[in-house]
Structure 1
Amino acid sequence: MKVFGIAGYSGSGKTTLLEKLIPALTARGLRVSVIKHAHHGFDIDRPGKDSYRHRAAGASEVLLSCNGRWALMHERRDEGEVSLNELLSRLAPCDLVLIEGFKQEPVPKLEVYRAENGKPPLFPARRDIIAIATDSQLATALPILPLNDIAAIADFVMNHLELQER
């Protein structure tokens, strides 16, 4: 599996970019998975539901299954933060894993940068940022991709990772 990151500050448009990039890549025949890092806790379960009650009772893992999907919830309890490698090992085989967040992980990344956020770009301090998707002018030797040109961004990712269209 090839791994490629999308990095940027909150509100820069990372999720919106992924929402457009995923269908552009799958249309080229790639099987794509996503791992998103949340800086805050989250819960996909609801109090009162059986699976919630099982987790509250102390189950380490609860797997929900229906016709169209399944979801595995793993309680880390006292295990601490999970590593990207551990998360990757949990995924089914695919061509490409796009990761959102995980700024500190040393994988090739595209920075989504918007000047109107009022935050400095990440790329000067991060050697793993290999290109920038933006609607701003930036002084850098890195490739600058138009933020709204999804085909150009998909081409860049595929070329950089040496992925072939199927």
Structure 2
Amino acid sequence: MKVYGVVGWKNAGKTGLMERLVAEITGRGYCVSTIKHAHHVFDVDQRGKDSFRHREAGAKEVLLASRKRFALMHELREDAEPELPELLSKMSPVDLVLVEGYKRDPHPKVEAFRAETGNALIAPDDPTVRAVASDTPVTVEGRPVFDLNATAEIADFILAELGL
């Protein structure tokens, strides 16, 4: 399974780029899955629903299934947050897993960058950032810079990098 990341600071355009890349790459016939790192507590369940009640009662995992989808919720309780390789091992095989976040992990990445955020580029200090997608002209020695909205070009670059 090939893995490629999208990183950047808050409000840099990561999620929009991820969404466009998934649509573009699946539109070319590839099977794509995603992983999104969240820096905050989140819940995909709803208070009062049966699955929520199962978790609240102490279940380590709850699998909620219907004819359209299933969701496996795993409670960490006091366990450490799983590392990216462990999470990848839990996923079904696909052509490409696009990862939003996990900027310190060693997989190749494209950095989403918006000047208005006022943050510095990550790329100059991180060789795993293989390209930048920016809303303003920037230069990063030895790496291509794409317009943040040039989705097809960014997809071409990622697929070529991965040999897909």
Matches of 1:147 and 1:47, distance apart in 2: 38
Q: How does 1:70-85 map to 2 (within 5 A)?
A: 70-85=70-85
- 2:113 corresponds to: 113
Shift of 1:140: 1.8
Matches of 1:15 and 1:158, distance apart in 2: 19
Q: Could you tell me which amino acid in structure 2 is paired with residue 146 of structure 1?
A: D
- 2:158 corresponds to: 157
- 1:7 corresponds to: 7
Q: Could you tell me which amino acid in structure 1 is paired with residue 100 of structure 2?
A: E
Shift of 1:16: 0.6
Matches of 2:130 and 2:12, distance apart in 1: 17
- 2:55 corresponds to: 55
Matches of 1:145 and 1:12, distance apart in 2: 14
Matches of 1:48 and 1:137, distance apart in 2: 50
- 1:94 corresponds to: 94
Q: Could you tell me which amino acid in structure 2 is paired with residue 65 of structure 1?
A: A
Matches of 1:51 and 1:99, distance apart in 2: 27
Q: Could you tell me which amino acid in structure 1 is paired with residue 52 of structure 2?
A: Y
- 1:24 corresponds to: 24
- 2:37 corresponds to: 37
TM-score computed with the length of structure 2 as normaliser: 0.97
Uncovered stretches (5+) of structure 1, i.e. residues with no partner = none
Shift of 1:139: 2.5
Per-residue CA shift, 1:108-166, capped at 9, x if unaligned?
00000111111111112211101000121212221011111111011001000000xxx
- 1:131 corresponds to: 131
User: Secondary structure of the equivalent of 1:97?
Assistant: strand
User: Secondary structure of the equivalent of 1:111?
Assistant: strand
Matches of 1:52 and 1:135, distance apart in 2: 41
> What is the aligned-residue identity percentage?
50
TM-score computed with the length of structure 1 as normaliser: 0.96
The alignment covers a number of residue pairs equal to 163
Q: Could you tell me which amino acid in structure 2 is paired with residue 124 of structure 1?
A: P
Say if 2:144 is the partner of 1:146: no
Moved over 4 A (4+): none
Shift of 1:46: 1.1
User: Secondary structure of the equivalent of 1:71?
Assistant: strand
Matches of 2:44 and 2:109, distance apart in 1: 27
Shift of 1:39: 0.3
